[in-house]
Each structure stands twice: as C-alpha cells, then as structure tokens.
C-alpha cells in the first residue's frame, strides 16, 4: 500500500486512506537485515480524526473529520491551542458533511511547543497534536578567556558579555568550566530544555539538531511532535472535574509538617497547637487543628537540623494524643535495574577522574564541604522591651526572687493554686489582666509553677515583652522569655506530654572551592587534581562586561567554558568557548 523510510533519528511518517474492512500490518526491515512485523490499530467506524497540513502564506490547516455515525456529525468542533501555560487560540467551527478546517497563521502561534486539542460539543477531548515553532530570538551571550593557552596553577580571567545591555544587566547566568575528555557530555543545554525537552516525555536524541538551519530540521521536528501528545493534561479528568485526592500539599515556600490531634480515636478540631524548633535561635509556630484533627505548620527551608517539640495547652488539653503524620510517600515505586555497560574507550578517562576525586577528598575534603552561612533570624518576637543578662546581677537561688527583685515588668503573685504572672502594659500604663506567654528557649510553658522550679544558674538571659503580641491568629498579653546558655531548655522540662522529634532540615548550600595560587603558594606540594575548575550557578552581571577569575589545576588538557542564562524578560541565552592547559 505504501512504503516509508525514517528521515532522522529513526523517525518518519506516512499517510494512506484505510478501509474499515481490512486489517493493516507494518513490515520493517532494519539495516542488519532483520524484519519486524506489527499490526496497526484497528479501524473504527465511529470517532474523529485530526490532521495538520501546511498551506500557502505560512499558514497551517487543521483538518477535523467526524465518522458518519458520530452524533456530533451535525454539530461542530472546538480547537484549543496553548503553549507554556499561555492560551493562543480558542476556536469553533460547525461541521459540513462531517468536515471542518481551521486555518491558523503560523506567526500567531507562540514560540515553542503548541498543544492543539480538539473538543467535541460536549467539551470532551477527542484528538491532540503538537506543533513546534522555533524561537526567533534569544539573549546573545559571548564568553572570552584572556588567553587560549595557560599553564598549570596559572590565574585565568574570563569575560562574559551580552550583545544588548538592557537584556544582559540583571540576567541570571550559570557558568561551568570543565575538562573535556573521552567521556561523552550531554548535548542538551538551557535552550533545548526550555523550548523542547522539558515538555516531552522520554529521551530526545540530539535535541540541538532541531534548532539548526538544516533543510530537513523542520520535517524532523514535526516527526518528533507526531510521536508525542496527551502529555500535559489528563483532559477527561480536567473537563469532568474528577475528584482527585491530594495526598500531599504543594510545598511552595516551606516544608509542611503535619500532626494529628486525637482524644482516644476521635480527631479533635480547634485545638491550639504549638511547634518549637530548638536550634540556637529557637523558633515558634502556632496552629489550630482542622475538622480532621490535623495541625499544619510551614517550616522555612533555611531551618537547620533541630529538635522539634510539639505540644498543646497542657493545662487544658491534658488528655490529648499527638501523632506525627509521616511526610513520605508510602507506596514504593519499583524501578527495574538497568545494567551499566561502559565502553572500554572511556576507561582511561574514568580512572583519571576517579583518582582526581579521591585526591581532592584526601587533601581538600574540609574545604570542599564548606557550607554557606545560614541567615538565622532572631526570636520570633524580635527585640525585647526588657533584657536582663543574669550574670550582670546578683545570683539568687530561686526564680521567684529573681523576678521579684529586678524584673519590674513582671508581677508575681502566689495563691493557693500556685504562682500567677501578669505583665505591665507599657502602652496603656496598666497591668494586663490575662497571663503572659511564658517561653523557655522559645518553647511555651503553660504552668508558672514549672517555670519557678527551674535552676536559675542555668538561665543566661530573661527577656520581657510589655505589649500585646500576635502570632498568626494567636494573641499573647506580654511575653516572659527565658534563655539557657546552650539552648537546651527542653532537657529541663518535666512535661511528659511534650512530643520531641529529631528534625532533619535541608542541607545548606555548599560553597564551590577553588584554590588561589598566589606567588607564595604556587609551588605547594599539595596535589590539585580538579577537573572542574569553576562553577557558579548564579552570576548576575552588573556591567556590560562581567569578569570571572580562577586558577587552573595540575590537570592538563582542553577545557570548555559553558554559559547559560535567562534575562529579566525571559530571553534564553547560551554560549561556550575553550582553552588549553599545558605543563609549566
């Protein structure tokens, strides 16, 4: 019926008009002479088809056809076109004898991959096709090393430039400089990822080819688009508003930690819950449990490894049970083990890299593992109104004497049921009627008697907030905050209802280590086997020429400079250059 051959990367296409009464088979012969035979899908009597063909004047025609027995034969079709979450076309045409043709001007399509989805009059998706529009322009970058040849342990200066000042300034660029060897590197870059591979599933062979000026590149990219579709949305779920249970909430700005509050097996709603993190500057969060008894907290990503302490108001909710909801996916996905078959041609390069890595781990492990300083804020309430460093005062043996003798902002009363605190309201020049929030290293204490039992010699400072303070929807009438010397106040508390857990925070960003070989240490006997000379994931140019500097290592060879970036208005840029390193 028809013969076909692949155009590029094993992909091609063919067309023919099938008959419903027949079953069709494709016979494929490989270069090695092997034959592959497979049945084509059965021909249906009902349904739709959609075909995209080129027309004159840079236009494309979307041909939609409905089978004779289709109910929508006498109605019409909707065409919905979108790219990168932006809608470009929403069109409707009635059928004439089961046919309608949408004419689209290519210049009206958004750059990148456009999704053509055809809906019937019940707004159910029936056909989908992808069309690629090559980007016309990007951010023009260039990178120029000061020399083409260097020696080992020599200073290197590189200039990063942009063709348009308004695009270059304020852009975000990444720079990596590494040695080229026999181990193949990925041919993908920010341009091919942004415009192509990020929208398609699976591995795309030689993605950079589709951006070339080769005469066959347009047909090749169309063949690639024909092999994809129905990727971005599950349209039937979207249109039919199918209920999808969200097991995990999106963590956009912070890690979400959830706890279940129960009394027996009954979830408890509206329970005030407090979460503290003991890690130097202790943090405090507060939340109310929802109708399912779930209390949720958002923990900033900068939070280091800490001890997590969760509690409810011990004087009110003493019978509650707190259980942490594990934030990990329970259903394990089993990935098939893929054998690693490395070609013998890369053995030498792989061995050199391995030796270089081991040498760096031996001689520069501490410098390679250096992490950026975390920006830890002060206590959640900021600067206190009254601060008392207890070492500056006479040390009294009990907390009651300390509060009565030199903390005028706190009034201590002892009644039959125990101690009671109240704080002076500095703004209204009166005393709050409600008790203040009491903290020990940022952890709430709800029993004044427990605070009074603390050993004063373990308290470093005492701070007082003499005004109302709001923590979300929670309000406190002043704050009395005690801080220990080592921030280990949780060890001093005897409350058995505290839930204490180890919290593993995200690792801090590591600083890329690049040694400096000035005249005094250029002859150091410590070996330097770095294959990656420079790496910076965020270079923000502040002038038309951005200068970068680093030193070469003891490893000779050819090195590549790769620069990728994106401007403030979303223009993509990519450039590369090379230089060589020889022995002194």
- CATH number for position 452: 2.170.130.10
Cα(340)–Cα(354) distance, rounded to whole angstroms?
17
Q: How far from each other are the two terminal CA atoms of the chain, in whole angstroms?
A: 69
**pTM, whole model, 2 decimals?**
0.74
Q: What is the pLDDT of residues 117-171, one digit of tens each?
A: 999 888 888 889 999 999 988 899 999 999 999 999 999 999 999 988 888 998 9
Q: What is the CA radius of gyration of the chain?
A: 34
Do 47 and 129 sit in the same domain of this protein?
yes
Q: ∠ at Cα 370 (366, 376), nearest 5°?
A: 145
For residue 468, pLDDT beyond 70:
yes
Q: What is the CATH number of the domain that holds 520?
A: 2.20.130.20
Give the DSSP H/E element, type plus range, for residue 461. strand 459-471
- What rounded mean pLDDT belongs to the chain? 86
> Does 118 lie in the same domain as 198?
yes
pLDDT score of 378 more than 70: no
Domain that holds residue 358: 137-181+346-371+509-584
Strand pairing category for 112-119 and 76-83: antiparallel
Residue 338 within any structural domain of the chain: no
Q: What is the pLDDT of residues 392-447, one digit of tens each?
A: 988 899 999 999 988 989 999 999 889 999 999 988 899 999 999 999 888 888 88
Kindly report the CATH number assigned to the domain that includes residue 18.
2.60.40.10
According to DSSP, the β-strands at 545-551 and 155-162 are: antiparallel
Same domain, 200 and 172: no
Q: 70 and 217 in one domain?
A: yes
Range with top average pLDDT, 316-325, 337-346, 420-429:
420-429
DSSP-derived 3-state class of residue 448: helix
Q: Are residue 352 and residue 238 in the same domain, yes or no?
A: no
| Mean per-residue pLDDT, 102-106 | 94
Of 449, 470, 423, which is closest to residue 314 (Cα–Cα)? 449
**Is the pLDDT assigned to residue 567 strictly greater than 60?**
yes
The reply to whether 105 and 7 lie within a common domain is yes
- Tell me: do 396 and 435 sit in the same domain: yes
* 316 assigned to some structural domain: yes
| Positive or negative: CA dihedral 84, 205, 207, 189 | positive
Q: What is the pLDDT of residue 47?
A: 84
Cβ within 8 Å of residue 336, ≥6 positions away: none
Beta strands in 111-151, from DSSP E residues, in sequence order: 112-119, 125-133, 141-145, 149-151
pLDDT digits (tens, 9 = 90+) for 478-525: 999 998 887 777 777 777 778 888 888 777 777 888 888 886 667 788
Residues 278 and 309 in one domain: yes
Question: Same structural domain for residues 236 and 206?
Answer: yes
Q: Which runs of E-coded beta strand occur in 264-372?
A: 266-267, 272-278, 283-288, 294-300, 306-312, 321-325
Residue 528 is classified by DSSP as -
Pairing status of strand 572-582 against strand 149-151: parallel
Residue pair 327/311 in contact by the 8 Å Cβ criterion: no
| 334, part of any domain | no
Rounded Cα distance between 558 and 29, Å, is 42
Question: CA 372, CA 183: separation in Å to the nearest integer?
Answer: 31
Residue 577 lies in a domain: yes
Do residue 425 and residue 546 come from a single domain?
A: no
In the chain, the percentage of residues whose pLDDT exceeds 90 is 41
Identify which has the larger pLDDT, 578 or 74: 578
Whether residues 110 and 198 fall in one domain: yes
In a domain, 399, yes or no: yes
Q: CA dist 8 to 28, 217, 218, 430, Å?
A: 16, 9, 11, 84
**Domain assignment present for 339:** no
The pLDDT value given to residue 244: 57
C-alpha atoms less than 13 angstroms from C-alpha of 361 in its C-beta half-sphere = 6
Decide if 32 is inside a domain: yes
Q: DSSP character for 8?
A: B
**Quick check: 379 pLDDT over 70?**
no
Is the separation of the CB atoms in 125 and 239 below 8 Å? yes
If one counts the domains in the chain, the total is 4
Shared-domain flag, residues 230 and 201 = yes
Residue found under tokens 């005094």: 520
Decide if 542 is inside a domain: yes
Measured CA to CA, the distance from residue 296 to residue 286 in angstroms comes to: 9
């Amino acid at each position: 019926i028809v013969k076909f051959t692949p155009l590029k990367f094993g992909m091609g296409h063919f067309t023919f008009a099938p008959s419903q009464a027949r079953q069709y088979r494709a016979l494929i012969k490989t270069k090695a002479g092997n034959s592959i035979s497979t049945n084509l899908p059965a021909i249906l009597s009902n349904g739709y088809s959609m075909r995209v063909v080129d027309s004159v004047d840079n236009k494309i025609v979307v041909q939609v056809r409905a089978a004779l027995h289709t109910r929508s034969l006498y109605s019409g079709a909707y065409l919905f076109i979108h790219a990168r979450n932006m809608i470009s076309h929403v069109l409707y045409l009635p059928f004439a004898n089961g046919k309608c043709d949408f004419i689209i001007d290519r210049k009206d399509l958004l750059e990148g991959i456009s999704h053509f989805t055809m809906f019937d009059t019940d707004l159910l998706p029936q056909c989908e096709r992808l069309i690629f529009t090559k980007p016309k322009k990007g951010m023009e970058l260039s990178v120029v090393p000061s020399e083409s040849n260097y020696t080992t342990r020599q200073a290197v200066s590189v200039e990063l430039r942009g063709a348009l000042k308004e695009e270059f300034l304020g852009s975000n660029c990444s720079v990596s400089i590494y040695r080229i060897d026999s181990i193949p590197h990925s041919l993908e870059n920010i341009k091919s990822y942004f415009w192509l591979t990020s929208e398609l599933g699976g591995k795309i062979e030689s993605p950079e080819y589709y951006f070339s000026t080769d005469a066959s590149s347009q047909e090749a990219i169309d063949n690639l688009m024909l092999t994809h579709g129905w990727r971005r949305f599950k349209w039937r779920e979207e249109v039919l508003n199918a209920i999808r249970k969200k097991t995990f909430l999106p963590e956009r700005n912070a890690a979400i930690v959830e706890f279940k509050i129960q009394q027996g097996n009954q979830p408890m709603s509206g329970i005030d819950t407090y979460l503290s993190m003991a890690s130097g500057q202790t943090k405090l969060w507060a939340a109310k449990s929802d109708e399912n008894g779930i209390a949720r907290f958002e923990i900033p990503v900068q939070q280091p490894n800490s001890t997590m302490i969760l509690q409810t108001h011990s004087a009110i909710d003493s019978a509650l049970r707190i259980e942490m909801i594990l934030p990990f996916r329970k259903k394990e996905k089993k990935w098939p083990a893929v054998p690693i078959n490395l070609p013998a041609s890369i053995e030498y390069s792989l061995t050199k890299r391995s030796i270089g890595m081991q040498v760096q781990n031996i001689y520069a492990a501490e410098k390679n593992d250096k992490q950026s300083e975390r920006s830890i804020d002060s206590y959640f309430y900021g600067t206190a109104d009254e601060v008392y460093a207890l070492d500056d005062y006479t040390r009294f043996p009990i907390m009651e004497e300390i509060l009565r003798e030199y903390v005028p902002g706190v009034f201590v009363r002892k009644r039959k049921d125990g101690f009671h605190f109240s704080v002076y309201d500095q703004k209204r020049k009166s005393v709050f009627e409600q008790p203040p929030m009491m903290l020990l290293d940022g952890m709430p204490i709800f029993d004044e008697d427990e605070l009074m039992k603390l050993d004063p010699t373990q308290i470093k400072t005492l701070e007082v907030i003499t005004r109302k303070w709001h923590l979300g929807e929670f309000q406190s009438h002043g704050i009395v905050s005690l801080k220990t010397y080592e921030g280990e106040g949780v060890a001093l508390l005897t409350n058995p209802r505290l839930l204490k857990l180890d919290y593993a925070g995200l690792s801090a960003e590591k600083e890329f280590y690049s040694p400096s070989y000035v005249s005094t240490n250029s002859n150091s006997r410590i070996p330097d086997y770095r294959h990656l000379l420079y790496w910076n994931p965020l270079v923000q140019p502040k002038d038309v020429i951005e200068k970068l500097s680093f030193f070469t290592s003891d490893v000779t060879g050819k090195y590549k400079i790769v620069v990728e970036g994106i401007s403030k208005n979303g223009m993509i840029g990519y450039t590369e250059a090379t230089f060589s390193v020889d022995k002194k």
